[in-house]
Structure 1
Amino acid sequence: MRRFFVWSALAALLGLILAIGGFWAYQHFYARFQPVTVTQNQAAIQRLLDESSWLSAGGGGEPLYIIGYRDSAAMQRYEREEAPKLRAAGVEVRIVVFARADREGLAQSTAAERATVAELWLTRDWTLYQRWTATPSNNWTAAGIPAADGSLARTAVVDAGRAFAASLSENLAGAGLQTRYPLIIWRDREGYMKACACSDSRSWAFVRDDLDAPDRVEPPSVAADGVPAPMAYPGDGSPESLPYPTLPPIPPADGQAAPPPGAAPVPGNAPAPARRAAPQAPRKAPEAKRTEDTTFF
């Protein structure tokens, strides 16, 4: 009987360990990457999104918001890899950028970034946003854009973007979401608001599955059959071939007729080299001829 109780206790302990390990693995490898369903403060969150100066390439489908800052590597990768898939599913991708506030006396944004964020919030210029994100942040000088520092109006716009991000994080905290960027907010098929702190790429598949987005899309430069599209070249207007340079006429070889003017040379049939003249034999030295009073050569 004692042995039975010992083995029963060991089995119960082993089962408890397996249960704890399975729950930890589920939370660590799966559950923590899932989006959350927002059940609190939905009206306040929706009002913040509607009043923000979001940027979009158009589309007119169901909106999906990507919130983040310029130097976020995860946000740049999400826009580059996932946004085309979402657009292919008919989703309108809306992007909201803000300039991070100073932290412990250290600036987390540059003057050029603050100027660009203020300009984007005021104009919602999608072309400017594309030029900004296509340029390395160290090379972006915000040339031609009014500075935000020293301007009360533009500084207020930058502060409004920061207040928007802080209010959004505060309202999403009620759903148990720890804000990390990029922050993705959308509505599912039933109309429920979903949110994802998608700083880890393992979270992206849940967003695609919820919106029926494909796992991959063909790049624009590749045709549907996988053959790269032909490149167009200037010149004769033909996209199939390179423009051929204008060459001087080639003299005909012996026994061949001259090609007509403007005819292209035949590939693999190089013109025969011109025939060199045979060297002449050396002249014979003159012989001396003697007359009666003179010798001639």
Structure 2
Amino acid sequence: MRRFFVWSALAAVIGLAVAIGGFWAYHHFYARFQPVTVERNQKPIQDLLEQSSWISAGGGGEPLYIIGYRDSAAMQRYEREEVPKLRAAGVEARIILFARPDREGLAQSTAAERATVAELWLTRDWTLYQRWTATPVRNWTAAGIPAADGNLARGAVVEAGRNFIASLSEKLREEGLQTRYPLVIWRDREGFMKACACSDSRSWAFIRDDLDAPDRIDAPEIAPGDPAAPGVYPGDGSPETLPYPNLPAPADGSVPAPAPGTAPVAPRPATPPVPRKAPEPKQTEDTTFF
């Protein structure tokens, strides 16, 4: 009987350890990357998103909001790798940028960044956003853009962006979401609002599943002879549009390489050189020249 109790206690301890380990693995590798479903603050969050100055490349599909700041490497990677997949599913990506406030006396944004954020909030210029994100941060000077520092109106726009992100983060914390960037907010197929602190790429698959976006986009197949094929030059195939002209054969009879799309040039028959006439002597008073 004593041995039975010992083995029973050992089995209970092992079972408890397996259960704890399984729960930890589930949370660590899966559950913590799941988005949260917004239940209490759907309308306030939707109002905040619609009142903000988001920018978009267009498309008119189901909106998906991406919120972050310019220096966020995770946000840049999400835009580069995931947004094309979402667009392939008919989703319109709407981007909201803000300039981070100072933290413990240290500036987390530059004057050029604050000026550009203010300009984007005022103009919603997608071309400006593309130029900004295509330029390394250290090289971006915001040339031609009015400064936000020292400008009451533009400074207020920068501050409005910071107030927006503070209000949004507070309402998402009430839903159980810890703020990390990029913040991604969308509605699933049933119309429920969901939010994700998508700083880890392992959380991106949940968004694709909700929006029926592909896991990858294959490069389009290019038929041989297509103008986009490597080594093929645009044109209609006429001699004027070929990359190489039809040159005459060299005088020595060698055969040049034929131009692409043309028939080989037949070699010229070799001809013996014409002998030169010997010079006739010319004599002056004291010298004879040849």
Say yes or no: TM over 0.5.
yes
Provide Cα deviations, 1:75-129, integer angstroms capped at 9, x if missing partner.
0111111111111111111000011111111111111111110000000001111
Q: Relative to 1, partners in 2 of residues 1:252 and 1:126: Cα closer, same or farther, differing over 3 Å?
A: same
Quick check: 2:249–2:267 contact (8 Å CA) kept in 1? no
What is the alpha-carbon distance in structure 1 between the residues aligned to residue 21 and residue 262 of structure 2?
A: 77
Match of 1:223 among 220, 230, 235: 220
Within 5 Å, give how 1:25-64 maps onto structure 2: 25-64=25-64
1:166 aligned residue: 166
Q: 1:94 is matched with which residue?
A: 94
Distance 1:120 1:160 in 2: 13
What is the CA–CA distance in structure 1 between the aligned matches of 2:76 and 2:55, rounded to whole Å? 15
Q: 1:135 to 1:9 in 2, by over 3 A?
A: same
Measure, in 1, the Cα distance between the counterparts of 2:275 and 2:266: 26
Match of 1:261 in 2: none
CA gap of 1:193–1:252, structure 2 versus 1, over 3 A, is same
Change (3 A) 1:117 1:147: same
Q: Aligned AA for 1:176? A: G
Letter of the structure 1 residue corresponding to residue 227 of structure 2: P
Q: 1:238 aligns with which of 235, 238, 255?
A: 235
Whether the 8 Å CA contact 2:34–2:196 is kept in 1: the answer is yes
Contact 2:180-2:199 at 8 Å conserved across structures: yes
Q: Unaligned regions of 5+ residues in structure 1, if any?
A: 255-263, 284-297
**In the aligned structure 1, how far is the partner of 2:158 from the partner of 2:35?**
29
Residue 69 (str. 1) matches residue 66 (str. 2): no
SS in 2 for 1:217: coil
Match in the other structure for 1:15: 15
Deviation at 1:137, TM superposition (A): 1.0
SS at match of 1:196: strand
TM-score (norm 2): 0.83
Distance 1:227 1:246 in 2: 23
Task: After TM superposition, list the pairs within 5 Å mapping 1:111-260 onto structure 2.
Answer: 111-218=111-218, 222-224=219-221, 230-231=227-228, 238=235, 242-245=242-245
Contact 1:253 1:274 in 2 (8 A): no
Per-residue displacement from partner, 1:217-266 (whole Å, max 9, x unpaired)?
23xxx53468796249xxx971666433585x557789xxxxxxxxx985
> How many pairs does the alignment contain?
267
Cα separation, 2, equivalents of 1:228 and 1:49: 48
Change beyond 3 A, Cα 1:227–1:135 = farther
Counterparts of 2:137 and 2:28 in 1: how far apart (Å)?
34
Point out the structure with max Rg over C-alpha.
1
One-letter amino acid of the structure 2 residue matched with residue 89 of structure 1: A
Rate the CA distance shift 1:266–1:202 in 2: closer, same or farther, 3 A: same
Moved more, 272-281 or 132-141: 272-281
Unaligned runs of 5+ in 2: 254-260, 281-290
| Displacement of 1:18 | 0.3
* SS state at 2:71 partner: coil
In structure 2, the CA distance between the partners of 1:227 and 1:51, relative to structure 1 (3 Å rule), is: farther
- The RMSD of aligned alpha carbons is 2.9
1:227 and 1:112 map into 2 onto residues whose CA distance is 47
Tell me, in whole angstroms, the C-alpha distance in 2 between the residues paired with 1:270 and 1:223. Answer: 42
TM-score, scaled to structure 1: 0.81
Conservation of the 8 A alpha-carbon contact between 2:85 and 2:215: yes
Q: 1:231·1:239 contact (CA, 8 Å) conserved in 2?
A: no
- Name the CA distance, whole Å, in 2 between partners of 1:42 and 1:104: 32
Q: Distance in 2 between matches of 1:268 and 1:124?
A: 60
User: Is 1:121–1:157's contact at 8 Å kept on the other side of the alignment?
Assistant: yes
The amino acid of 1:130's aligned partner reads: Q
* C-alpha distance in 1 between matches for 2:13 and 2:116: 60
